A and B are shown apart, each in its own frame.
Chain A
Amino acid sequence: MTAKEEVENFHTIAVLVDNEPGVLARVIGLFSGRGYNIESLTVAEISHEEGFSRITIVTSGTPMIIEQIKAQLGRLVPVHNVSDLTLDGPSVERELALVKVAGSGEKRVESLRIADIFRARVLDSTNESFVFEIVGDTGKLNAFIELMRPLGLADVSRTGVVAIARGLGAL
Chain B
Amino acid sequence: MANDQFSGAEILLKALVDQGVTELFGYPGGAVLPVYDAMHQQNALRHILVRQEGGAVHAAEGYARSTGKVGVVLVTSGPGATNAVTGLTDALMDSIPLVCITGQVPTHLIGNDAFQECDTTGITRPCTKHNYLVKDVNDLARVVHEAFHVARSGRPGPVVIDLPKDVAMNVGSYVPPAKVKHKNYQPKLKGDLKAIRQAVELMAGAKKPIFYCGGGVINSGPHASLLLAELVRATGYPCTLTLMGLGAIPSSDPQFLGMLGMHGTYEANLAMHDCDVMICVGARFDDRITGLLSDFSPNSKKIHIDIDPSSINKNVRVDVPIVGDVAHVLEDMIKLWKSSQAKPDQKALKAWWKRIDEWRAKDCLKFTQKGKVIKPQYAIQRLYEATKGLDDVYITTEVGQHQMWAAQFYGFEKPNHWLTSGGLGTMGYGLPAAMGVQVAHPDALVIDIAGEASILMNIQEMSTLAQHRLPVKVFILNNEYMGMVRQWQELLHGGRYAESYMESLPDFVKLAESFGAVGLRAEKPGDVDGLIHEMLAVDKAVIADVRVDKLENCFPMIPSGAAHNKMLLGPEDKAEKPVSEDGMVLV
In the complex, what residues of A have CB within 8 A of residue B314's CB? Answer: 68, 71
Contact A75 B310 (CB under 8 A): yes
Q: Which of B125, B150, B308, B312 contacts A26 (CB 8 A)?
A: B125
Distance between Cα atoms of A67 and B126 in the complex (Å): 20
- For window 8-32 of A, CB contacts with B under 8 Å fall at 18, 21-22, 25-26, 29
Known: A2-B293, A64-B317, A67-B313. A77 touches B130 (CB 8 A): yes
A74 at the interface (CB under 8 A from B): yes
Q: Which A residue sits closest to B314, measured CB to CB?
A: A68
Most buried by A among B294, B309, B310, B317: B310
Q: B126 contacts A33, CB within 8 Å?
A: yes
Interface residue? B43 (CB, 8 A): no
B310 and A77: CB pair below 8 A? no
**Cβ-closest chain A residue relative to B293:** A2
Interface size classification for chain B: 20 to 34
A39–B312 CA distance with the chains assembled, in angstroms? 25
Count of interface residues, chain A, beta-carbon cutoff 8 Å: 20
Say yes or no: A22-B126 contact (C-beta < 8 A), given A75-B308, A77-B185.
no
B contact residues around A68 at 8 Å (CB): 310, 313-314
Q: How far is the CA of A130 from the CA of B309 in the complex (A)?
A: 50
Chain B: minimal CB distance from A106 (Å): 53
User: Is A119 located at the chain interface by the 8 A CB criterion?
Assistant: no
Are A74 and B310 interface neighbours, CB within 8 A? yes
CA distance A29 to B126 in the complex (A): 7
| CA A69 to CA B577, docked complex, whole Å | 38
Tell me if A80 is interfacial: C-beta within 8 Å of chain B.
Answer: yes
Contact of B310 among A22, A25, A71, A80 (CB under 8 A): A71
- Among residues of A, the one whose C-beta sits closest to the C-beta of B187 is A75
Query: Within the complex, what minimum Cβ distance (angstroms) separates B317 from chain A?
Result: 7
Residues in A lying within 8 Å of B, measured CB to CB:
2, 18, 21-22, 25-26, 29, 33, 64, 67-68, 71-72, 74-80
B294 touches A72 (CB 8 A): no
Shortest beta-carbon contacts, A-B, top 7? A71-B310, A77-B130, A71-B309, A80-B184, A72-B310, A77-B185, A33-B126
Q: Which residues of B contact A29 (CB under 8 A)?
A: 125-126
CA distance A79 to B317 in the complex (A): 25
Complex interface: chain B residues within 8 A of A76 (CB): 130
Kindly report which residue of chain A lies nearest to residue B154, judged by CB atoms: A75
A21 close to B133 (CB less than 8 A):
yes
A77 neighbours in B (Cβ, 8 Å): 129-130, 150, 185
Q: What residues on B are CB-neighbors of A21 within 8 Å?
A: 133
Contacts A2-B294, A77-B150, A80-B184: A25 and B125 contacting too (C-beta < 8 A)?
Answer: yes
Which residue of the partner chain B has the closest CB to A32?
B126
A-B contact pairs, 7 of them (CB 8 A): A2-B294, A18-B183, A22-B122, A25-B122, A64-B317, A72-B310, A76-B130
Contacts of B183 in A (CB 8 A): 18
Q: Which residues of B contact A71 (CB under 8 A)?
A: 308-310, 312, 314
B67 interface residue, CB < 8 Å from A? no
Query: B19 within 8 Å of A by Cβ?
Result: no
Chain A contacts for B293, CB-based, 8 A: 2
From 139 to 155 in chain B, residues with beta carbon under 8 angstroms from any chain A beta carbon are 150
Interchain CA distance A22-B134 in the complex, whole Å: 13
In the complex, per-residue mask of B118-134: 1 if CB is within 8 Å of any chain A CB, else 0: 00011001100111010
Bound-complex Cα distance A114 to B130 (A) = 50
A20 to chain B, nearest CB (A): 9
In the complex, what residue of chain B is closest to A25 when comparing beta carbons? B125
Distance in Å: Cβ of B314 to nearest Cβ of chain A? 6
A167 to B275, CA, bound (A): 47
**Once the chains are docked, how many angstroms separate the CA of A127 from the CA of B185?**
57
The distance in angstroms between the C-alpha atoms of A75 and B92, with both chains bound, is 13
